[in-house]
Amino acid sequence: MKIISWNVNGIRAIDRKGNLAELIEKENPDILFLQEIKAKQEQLSPNLKGSEPYEQHYFSAEKAGYSGTGLWVRPSSTGAYSVKTGIDKYPDNEGRMIRIEFGNYILLGGYFPNGGKSEEAWQQKLVYYEHFLDEINSLRKSGKKIIFTGDLNVAHNEIDLARPKENMESIGFLPEERAWVDKLISQDWVDVFRAIHPEEISYTWWSMQTRARERNIGWRIDYFFVDRNLFSLVQDIRHLNDQMGSDHCPVVLSIDIR
């Protein structure tokens, strides 16, 4: 099964420019998770609501032009499935998490808070992290096989951003955020890209304001994590650095789902 995660930074723009169609045609994913769709259902083109052989699901933010997640599913690959939004015990009016369940698997795709707008936003980011970790641990304990992906809005280690020394006090690379990723890994959640490519320098986000992508001054903040018990099923993971349309690039996971 091929699963792709992409923070599109506006789904209507990548649809209009043909970037989404380009990705679908080239990669032919079984499941596609989208973040920062920045649109409500009524704003979506017919193509975004009915593009066979996929079925489309969206979780929009209440605030117009902000956040939101999406999910494209090829039913012939998954069989019967169900979709749920949000995480338990955390009110979500920003459309941050969407999931699909089929068989014994649950796959989650999320757009995690940035936390940089205010002290309150920063504290809410940390709260969200903990609620999410509780959620996936609870799902795993119930016997489900868990994969999660998305824009976590944190670079874990110095290898994961081009200029670590200059960003030691920057949101997205603060000790508390990085410690949460340490906690994930200590609880047997595997950062698939780093586990397979321990020394590879590759980024998934670049600032559009400074033309950073042209110079590859980026951050790796988009991930796939799997339960350690599923890691042996992973076949490949790639960053599609040449895919244009957003300030993020898609991440592709190939895994032998049984």
- In 133-208, which ranges are E strands? 145-151, 189-191, 205-206
Q: What is the pTM of this model?
A: 0.97
Instruction: Kindly report each contact of residues 158-167 with a partner whose C-beta sits within 8 Å and lies 24 or more positions away, as own/partner.
Output: 159/199, 159/201, 160/194, 160/203, 160/219, 160/220, 160/221, 161/203, 161/218, 161/219, 161/220, 162/203, 162/212, 162/216, 162/217, 162/218, 162/219, 163/217
- Which of the residues 151, 222, 227, 247 is marked catalytic? 151
Kindly state the tokens that stand for 180: 């949460």
- CATH assignment of 2-255? 3.60.10.10
Residue type, 196: I
pLDDT at 209: 84
191 is catalytic: no
3-class secondary structure, 171: coil
Indicate the helix (H) or strand (E) that contains 39.
Answer: none
DSSP conformation class of 87: B
Q: Quick one: pLDDT band at residue 89, thresholds 50, 70, 90?
A: confident
Spatial CB neighbours of 14, under 8 Å, sequence gap ≥ 6: 8, 20, 245, 246
User: 86: left (phi > 0), else alpha (psi -120 to 50), else beta?
Assistant: left
Distance CA 6, CA 169 (A): 27
Average pLDDT, the chain: 96
Query: Is it the case that residue 210 has pLDDT exceeding 90?
Result: no
pLDDT in tens, 177-200: 999 999 999 999 999 999 999 999
Q: Where are the domains of the chain?
A: 2-255
